[in-house]
Structure 1
Amino acid sequence: MSDTKLTSNGEPDLVDRLSQIMPTRLTHFWAGQWQPAPGAEVLEAINPSTGERLASLPVAQAEQVDAAVRAADDAFPAWSRTPPLERASMLRRAAVLIREHAADLALIDAAGCGNPVKAMLFDAEIAATQLEYFAGLVLEIKGETLPTGNGSLNYTKREPLGVVARIFPFNHPFMFAAGKIAAPLAAGNTVVMKPPEQAPLSTLRLVELLAEVFPPGVLNCVLGGRDTGAALVAHPKVAAIGLIGSVPAGRAVLAAAAHDMKHTLLELGGKNAMIVYPDADFDKAVAGAVRGMNFTWCGQSCGSTSRLFLHESIHDRFVQALITRVAIEHRPGIATDPATTMGALASEAQYRRSLEYIKIALQEGANLACGGKHPEDPTLKQGYFIEPTVFTEVRPDMRIAQEEVFGPVLSVLKWSDEDELLCAVNGVDFGLTTSIWTRDLVTAHSTADRVQAGYIWINDCSSHFIGAPFGGYKRSGKGREESRDELFEFTQIKNINVSMAR
């Protein structure tokens, strides 16, 4: 940082720093090489905090996708035969490099996707931890012997699938890029990544860092939007697809995968509930409601507890405390500023979508308790900012209580009857997470049994635990991640029977 300019108060100039750490290879990568990008179609990477263009990047056409997949397919036999502990060593080396460059990677992502730079440091750590975790599981890719009763030897073995396509969204681009290659690579698969078109730059920087870690063709990357993703999913040599995205994207992947019976791992949307019982620790529950909504990310998180169910006996006091706490903790700011606690929405499309849902909520009769508009701060004029927004008097049938906004919009619903409460909690198409707040042990466990969601917190929210399977019910997804289950998603079982007859 010796050449970095300083501001008038002696702090590093972040604009200058950003220009120094951006990826220099703005193109596709496969077979261990940065590839030329013929064609006129480009992606414009935009800083959502300022509206400024960060880079122009090529869009992979069908022929580039084909070349990347074939490179991964060519590399698969040797990689699948690489001793497990050698694969693990490379994954650990990747984790070391990520930690060494964590601050720079966080700054690139803050500029690219609009999330606060201070919070993005945790994304780099989570990704490194996932690489280490799956490196430690490589010797668990094993089978078992089975009794047959006829004297033969019957055993199973787990084998990798082949080429895995990994497609991930704009809300945590680096964390997903680095963390979601871990399980398939540990299992012996090769990977072709497609980063989000809104925020691809941190993925390119990741590839620059890891280009010499893995053998050519093991890790590959193509840039583009929906058409590029569709070509990748449909390619006949892609054996499996791991997608983190919206329900429509998940449906499209399933439809495309059906032709060749490809394996799919889908982590999709959520319309998650936080249930607060009257005996809950009041102050902790208020803090949990703010944290669970993920206002730091402008609500752009599949796990956001965007439906807050408050018992009528505490409703009014809770709402007032909630609004006060939101105002103290979250005020939109430029994402690359270390002091910022709430960034910008990732794109103009996301910004417009959130404003449209706010308009719909008002039309349907919800009460706007706070927020609901672009901040008045003139320094934020060009960015995609919306104040943290809370609606009260929300009914379960309103669209903001049924549909995933993926923006900073929290819906508060009042309840009195527990059966009606759980009917409303389960009365959506999603089932990813639920947060339950109560001091009563029986209430906590019985409610956890009755809610239709795959990941439950009791007196907590937003926390993820490496090794704990994460995934959803209903339209929230298919399969489980962040655990041994994710590793096994990228394997298939072969059964072998050896006759011992003479």
Structure 2
Amino acid sequence: MTIDHLPADAGYGATAPPRYDLFYGGRWHPPVTGKYEAVIAPATGAILAHVACAGQDDVDLAVAAAQAGFAEWQSIPALERARRLRGLAADIRDHAEELAHLDAMDSGNPVWMMRADVRNAAEKLDYFAGLVTEMKGDSVPVGPHAVNFSVREPLGVAVRIAAFNHPFSFVAGKMAAPLAAGNAMIAKPARQAPLSALRLAQLALPHVPPGVFNVLPGDRDTGDCLVRHPGVAIVGLIGSVPTGKAVMGAGAQTLKRVILELGGKNALIAYPDADPEDVAEAIVSGMNFSWCGQSCGSTSRLFVHESLHEKVLARLPEKCARFVPGLPDDPATTMGSLISSDQFQRVLDYIALGKSEGARLVYGGTLPDDPKLSKGFFIRPTIFDGVEPHMRIAREEIFGPVLCVLKWADESEMIRAVNSLEYGLTCSIWTNDLNVAHRAAAAVQAGYVWINQVTQHFLGAPFGGYKQSGIGREECLDELLAFTQIKNIHIALRQPPAPARRA
């Protein structure tokens, strides 16, 4: 059964997925329970489609299909796997426009931003395809009568659970490392934005054997079934800290490996010698207002030195005004919507909380006036000044377009405040003094630090967090190796017979 609310050309130039069922073993399957869930366009509130929701029986069938796919895929030479992944990357680029429109419609983000997400996913496939020969072992000297060496082998079935803010990139980009290493994968796309993952399943089918890439849309129970399944070897999650803890706890029952990219309440630190204009520009870029602030790497805490405070604050309204909420397909749109009514209300509650805590609202915090946006989940960029480190808006991840400005004078106290949270994902430091930059970078407890830069990722540079912001590193060789296990092999060499002794 296929329940399809989208025409073949689904508006905004998007091509609908061929089915809204589950995809495993190279074929589409209706859910055993018959359960489908509505997918809502966050910019308009319209129902886009009803998508299958996988249950325990579906998970069992998908894992069995993935195990069969793994048996074939791991035996394919590494360079051939790389060639096929590059072929998929080329197909993704050929379909980039439709994929970007589909993601924009599904996530509420502007089309131009989702084009970059599609390019990013294709680049990751190419990058990890180029690393397949780096899955190397070592030799151990044990003397002349034996050979001892190690090899790296794939783990088996990998599960990757995606977040809603980069729906296509977090599925297509995160399939690259496990598949390059020779694993099969089951992707669980975000419940709120699963459509591009289903379209990806169709694009991937010609490039990999059946069962190697599978897509199981569903709810929290679906994810729990996948994490607990004994046939799954490793789980990767992009999500919140509470979800990461739940995944780690459930996976512990079978001692699964986990890769967790979790939340952040990241700091941007402005030192007295920084240029106020540069800092102000970095603030609005680092907040990812175009994504409505929905990014775990957003620098949502601004620690600005008191000598710069007024100069920086005066520049922010003009820069925030560049971010205009709008419909995803409107070329004038520079700011997307929040993903759901729940997240919309959550952000509004935090804005009310900030006011009640005594912070001063200096910009935004309101809904757009455009009547075309009245059914969507839009909130304008929001800036609070006079924020103190103990306030909840300064300590809790809001995952929305809310910036907290904290003024500092003493560096040691500022560093303590920066490091006082359970999070430690990113940090941006602004100074023209090289000594200060190195000292601050060493002092902050964060896994990804920019100096006079913000937001950007660099393929090959390990991305991941300290403390409760995650486990593992991605976008680098470490991510590929995380999907392998080491086997040691010892070979005793037969010794030649001793020469006969002469009489």
TM over 0.5: yes
User: Which residue pairs with 1:9 in the alignment?
Assistant: none
User: What's the secondary structure of 2:74's corresponding residue?
Assistant: helix
- Return the match for 1:70 from 61, 64, 73: 64
Segments of structure 2 that go 5 or more residues without pairing to the other structure are 1-7, 496-503
Moved more, 54-63 or 205-214: 205-214
Match of 1:236 among 225, 230, 238: 230
Residue 152 of structure 1 deviates from its aligned partner by 2.8
What is the rounded CA distance, in whole Å, between the counterparts of 2:135 and 2:75 in structure 1? 13
Q: Match for residue 264 of structure 2?
A: 270
Tell me the TM-score normalized by structure 1. Answer: 0.95
The Cα offsets for residues 83-131 of structure 1, whole Å up to 9 and x where unpaired, read as 0011001100110011111111111111101111111100000000000
Q: Does 1:426 align with 2:419?
A: yes
Name the residue aligned to 2:492: 499
Instruction: Provide Cα deviations, 1:230-254, integer angstroms capped at 9, x if missing partner.
Output: 0011111000001111111100110
**Aligned partner of residue 44 in structure 1, secondary structure:** strand
Verify: 1:146 aligned to 2:140, yes or no: yes
In the TM superposition, what is the alpha-carbon distance from 1:24 to its structure 2 partner?
2.3
Q: What amino acid does structure 1 have at the position aligned with 2:376?
A: G
> Which residue number corresponds to residue 351 of structure 1?
344
1:105 alignment partner, one of 80, 99, 105? 99
1:501 deviates by 5.9
Instruction: Please report how far the alpha carbon of residue 268 of structure 1 lies from its aligned counterpart in structure 2 after TM superposition.
Output: 0.4
| Distance (whole Å) between structure 1 residues aligned to residue 494 and residue 395 of structure 2 | 62
1:33 corresponding residue in structure 2: 27
Aligned partner (choices 383, 399, 402) of residue 406 of structure 1: 399
Assess if the C-alpha contact under 8 Å between 2:14 and 2:101 holds in 1: no
Distance in 2 between residues matched to 1:78 and 1:20, nearest whole Å: 34
State the percentage of identical aligned residues.
54
> Residue 431 of structure 1: SS of its match in structure 2?
coil
Task: Select the residue among 190, 196, 205 that pairs with 2:190.
Answer: 196
Question: How many angstroms apart in 2 are the aligned matches of 1:188 and 1:41?
Answer: 32
Q: CA offsets, 1:475-498, max 9 Å, x none?
A: 000000000000001001111222
Aligned to 2:355: 362
Q: Is the 8 A contact 2:9 2:15 kept in 1?
A: no
The structure with the larger Rg is: 2
Matches within 5 A, 1:207-286: 207-286=201-280
Q: Does the CA contact (< 8 Å) of 2:30 and 2:52 recur in 1?
A: no
Task: Find 1:380's aligned residue among 351, 373, 379.
Answer: 373
**Separation in 2 of the partners of 1:16 and 1:468?**
37
**What number of residue pairs does the alignment pair up?**
488
- Displacement, 1:16? 6.0
- 1:23 corresponds in structure 2 to 17
| 1:302-353 CA-partner distances (Å, limit 9, x unpaired) | 10000001000010110110122111x1021112222211010011111111
1:286 positional shift: 1.2
CA 1:87–1:392: 2 relative to 1, 3 Å: same
Instruction: Tell me the CA shift for residue 40 of structure 1.
Output: 4.3
How far 1:499 moved relative to its partner? Answer: 2.5
Partner of 1:336: 329
Task: Please give the alpha-carbon distance, in whole angstroms, between the structure 2 residues aligned to 1:487 and 1:242.
Answer: 12
C-alpha displacement of 1:399: 0.7
2: distance between equivalents of 1:98 and 1:176? 14
- State yes or no: 1:458 paired with 2:472: no
TM-score normalised to structure 2 length: 0.95
CA contact (8 A) 2:14 2:102 kept: no
Please list the CA deviations of residues 436-485 of structure 1 after superposition, one character each: whole Å capped at 9, or x if unmatched: 00000000011000000000000000010000000000000000000000
Provide, for residues 390-426 of structure 1, a one-character-per-residue CA deviation record: whole Å limited to 9, x for no partner: 0000001111111100000000000000000000000
Which structure 2 residues correspond to residues 432-447 of structure 1 after superposition, within 5 A? Answer: 432-447=425-440
Q: Which amino acid aligns with 1:35?
A: H
Deviation of 1:20 (Å): 5.9
Task: Find the aligned partners of 1:245 and 1:196 in 2 and give their Cα distance.
Answer: 10
The corresponding residue for 2:45 is 51
Rounded to whole Å, the distance in 2 between the matches of 1:126 and 1:181 is: 13
Q: Deviations over 1:44-98 (max 9, x none)?
A: 1111111011001121111011100110011212211110011001100110011
What is the alpha-carbon distance in structure 1 between the residues aligned to residue 345 and residue 17 of structure 2? 29
Q: Deviations over 1:348-384 (max 9, x none)?
A: 1111111111111111111101111211221110000
Cα displacement string for residues 135-176 of structure 1 (whole angstroms, at most 9, x for unaligned residues): 000111111112235753221111100000010110000001
Bigger mean CA offset, 152-161 vs 458-467: 152-161
Write the letter of the residue equivalent to 2:22: H
**1:475 partner SS:** helix
Which residue does the alignment assign to 2:5? none
Cα distance in structure 2, aligned partners of 1:83 and 1:15: 38
Partner of 1:6: none
Distance, in Å, in 1 between the alignment partners of 2:430 and 2:142 is 49
Question: Given the superposition, is the C-alpha separation of residues 19 and 291 from structure 1 closer, same or farther in structure 2, using an over 3 Å criterion?
Answer: closer
Q: Tell me whether 301-310 or 75-84 shows the greater mean CA deviation.
A: 75-84
- 314-323 or 266-275: bigger deviation: 314-323
CA distance in 1, matches of 2:95, 2:120: 14
Distance 1:230 1:161 in 2: 20
Gaps (5+ residues) in structure 1? 1-13
- CA separation in 1, counterparts of 2:117 and 2:287? 18
Q: Deviations over 1:201-252 (max 9, x none)?
A: 0111111111221100100111101000100111110000011111111001
Question: What SS is found at the alignment partner of 1:310?
Answer: strand
The 1-side partners of 2:331 and 2:292 are apart by: 16
Q: Structure 1 residues 33, 499: CA separation in 2 closer, same or farther (over 3 Å shift)?
A: same
Could you tell me which residue of structure 1 aligns to residue 500 of structure 2?
none
The 2-side partners of 1:490 and 1:339 are apart by 42
Between the aligned partners of 1:202 and 1:373, the Cα distance in structure 2 is 31
**In structure 2, do the counterparts of structure 1 residues 54 and 439 end up closer, same or farther at CA, with 3 Å as the change threshold?**
same
- Please, which moves more after superposition, 90-99 or 139-148? 139-148
Give the Cα–Cα distance (whole angstroms) in 1 for the partners of residues 378 and 71 of structure 2: 48
Q: Which amino acid aligns with 1:92?
A: R
2:150 to 151, 156, 160: 156
Greater Cα shift, 202-211 or 231-240? 202-211
Classify the secondary structure of the residue corresponding to 1:238: coil
2:286 counterpart residue number: 292
Classify the secondary structure of the residue corresponding to 2:486: strand
Superposed displacement of residue 431, structure 1:
0.3
